[in-house]
Structure 1
Amino acid sequence: MFDKYIIVEDSLRSTADGFAFDAKLGYYRGLGLSMIDDLAISVDGEPVPRDDVRFDEGKGPLSLAEMEHVFDRRWPFGAKATISVKREGPMPAGTYHLGLKEVLRISYLPFPLLAEDSKSLTLAPDLST
């Protein structure tokens, strides 16, 4: 439904231990974090290990395993959240094909809702050094 809006354009950035980008929920209502079963990420077609992913809707980062037990936090519709990926050092400048698949548990659906987006995003060189 809102798949083409999941990965936020121009949000890719390098971090000290990998990279981060912003994303939106691919569902027309907000969800409790415990109802997000998975955030599967790929970079240039290579899947990112689940343990290397962190999610932060503004109240502090959580691993995907921690999100399963968080019942007092929500991801509102239309709100940006930061998804961080741990790697060996910062991500170098360049263009990357980023994929994100959200596996969502919706109370009235007898199956998980899958929302997917993929975009080519460019990471600008760090000019501060």
Structure 2
Amino acid sequence: MDLSFEHPGEYLFVRRVGADTVTIVDRDFHRSLLLTPEQVVEDWAVTDASQLSADDVATFVALAPELVLLGTGERQVFPPAAFMAGLLKKGIGVEAMTNGSAARTYSLLAGEGRKVLAAFILPAG
């Protein structure tokens, strides 16, 4: 699904989301990644939402978001409660959704200048 044809502003934007790829600006990513308006963290080791734990919270906190959009693939999957609670205890909101929904929501919030982090989980391989 194409999301944007033109550069929408001064932030990294999602152009396209597929079953096993996310395109940021003009670059395709085939492995899970973390995206903020300023940077892409490549090769995030998570390939399934069930892998997330409270130990992963520090990775997100280091990027200083106010909200995490957890894209769990083509279907919405909720991560373990310990992961969600860990972010909420740090004052960081978190929403689990499909990758397409995460991309659209990220684009809206990044365009407003919000401190948003989109975590896209892509299948292994």
- TM-score range relative to shorter protein: 0.3 to 0.5
- Could you tell me the TM-score, scaled by structure 2's length? 0.32
- Could you tell me the TM-score, scaled by structure 1's length? 0.31
Which has the larger Rg?
1
Greater fraction of residues in strand: 1
Greater fraction of residues in helix: 2
